[in-house]
Structure 1
């Protein structure tokens, strides 16, 4: 029995997706690593009693781990407010064969073997195909179908490709 979900992207969900996409990539991982390194240097200089250097590294850590993410999130949200994609309603139909996508101007069906990765954030369920295009499903619009969709994803995709948090689907 197919599972149907109607989705209309909103600024909050798109911002969450873009933020995840940025910080799960190499530049984001490097930024988080540098932030952690600065925290380590802060602790090392504190233990040595070099409080001026400790202050310098704590400022860098706050910039990398706090200020930059806030600016990035605000910038992405501002860009998403003007996106034409936000007003389009998309109908997704999940079944044993794949995912069918329908909009007012286009439709298509993709078999499960086209999808290479599935991930979750607090606000979205994201399914990537082989060309790194994403199906973004806002959690608050999925309703009771969320568990069934996650079950289909886990059934049809390799476990190593599914990065859906355990607490995402409540048992």
Structure 2
């Protein structure tokens, strides 16, 4: 079975990948817990310390909670704008050997035994080559071929490496 499709990444796609990458890891969970602790401390210490500490706790919690997503969004926009590779369309070819990505004269091939894992989120299919780096394939652009990609991946990869919906 052979599957071919073209993908053009947007800043929104990159942002969603970065959010997923951050908030499924320890640093994302720690930032959410820290924000909740700030909000809880602001609410419970009002009678002891007054309004100024409550406002400070709320502001600190909001800063912790919103800093990461805003930073990730700005970084995603900057990365897409700065990279000629990411600005242009990428051609994917998925077959029995692996996943090939071409753009103009440049090409890269990820063999099936080199795929760390494949994960689908609500908006993206992520093909990881290691724990950090992944090919981001927007589901909206993939369309009906998403089902075919999942079938090929389930056939070629061990079950524990495939988390496709």
Same fold (TM over 0.5): yes
Q: CA–CA distance in 1 between the matches of 2:37 and 2:162?
A: 29
Normalising by structure 1, report the TM-score. Answer: 0.74
Equivalent residues of 1:119, 1:126 under 8 A apart: yes
Gaps of 5+ in 1: none
| Secondary structure of residue in 1 paired with 2:101 | strand
Q: Residues 76 and 88 from structure 1, CA distance in 2 versus in 1: closer, same or farther, beyond 3 angstroms?
A: closer
Q: Deviations over 1:71-123 (max 9, x none)?
A: 44134324422321223322212234321222212234322221112233443
Deviations 1:35-73 (A, max 9, x none): 232234345436x67653443322222112135423441
Q: Which whole-Å CA distance do the structure 2 matches of 1:97 and 1:36 have between them?
A: 47
Whether contact under 8 Å (1:11, 1:86) holds in the other structure is: no
The residue aligned with 1:149 is 149
Return 5+ residue gaps in structure 2 as ranges.
none
Give the RMSD, CA atoms, in angstroms.
2.9
Residue 63 of structure 2 corresponds to residue 63 of structure 1? yes
Q: Secondary structure at the match of 2:45?
A: helix
Contact residue 4 and residue 93 of structure 1 kept, 8 A = yes
1:134 alignment partner in structure 2: 134
1:64 counterpart SS class: helix
Question: What TM-score do you get using the length of structure 2 for normalisation?
Answer: 0.77
Q: Assess if the C-alpha contact under 8 Å between 2:15 and 2:72 holds in 1.
A: no
Q: Which residue in 1 is equivalent to 2:124?
A: 124
How many angstroms does 1:26 deviate by?
4.0
Counterpart Cα distance in 2 of 1:136 and 1:87 = 13
Cα distance in 1 for partners of 2:80, 2:50 equals 42
CA change 1:152–1:44 in 2 (3 A) is farther
- The answer to whether residue 124 in structure 2 is matched with residue 102 in structure 1 is no
